[in-house]
Structure 1
Amino acid sequence: MKSDKIYIAFRTAACKEIFEIALLGAAKPASEERQYSKDMPAMSETRKPGLLQKLAMLKDHKKELFWVWVAYQTVKGMMTTSLIWIPLLYALKNFG
């Protein structure tokens, strides 16, 4: 359980950094000190969040999560087009 909390905290910190890069268009300066410990939960927090807490988190972060969804759909669409549809249409055109 403890490792799950640490992983979630690290993933959250990494997502925040990705959002900042995506939204600001540039990475943080190398001289800026990154402190992930602020985002890590206290050791006493060992319970996993319940359904209501997860729904509250989604409601609180809906703008950020919308852009994550848009980015995911964009990457998924490009991958599907380039790896499935283009080769399929090429095969149908040349061999069908």
Structure 2
Amino acid sequence: MTEHTRPRIYGTDHDDAGAPLPGHEYVELTGGPLDGQLLDVTGLTPDERTAGAYLITTHSTYGPGGRPSYGPTFSRPDGPWVWEGDVP
């Protein structure tokens, strides 16, 4: 029997997976260095959600501080967001 683990919330401490907060909206990040994490999009406008986000991580192609780009797909604008590549 395997133990089920909940997805980690982006921006939480690595040792603390965090828990989704009631009343918040999350999208799952797929692919790239943040694969499987949840991103809180509660405060984003519809335009910001369409644009996606550059997120900071220590595991990008460019090392600590690199920014992987994640965004929605045209076929599924409400999520999950897919990895589009890394920028320095």
Task: Report TM bin, short chain.
Answer: under 0.3
Kindly indicate which of the two structures has a greater share of residues assigned to strand.
2
Larger Rg: 1
Kindly indicate which of the two structures has a greater share of residues assigned to helix.
1
TM-score (norm 1): 0.22
TM-score (norm 2): 0.23
Name the structure, 1 or 2, with higher relative contact order (CA <8 Å, separation 6+). 1
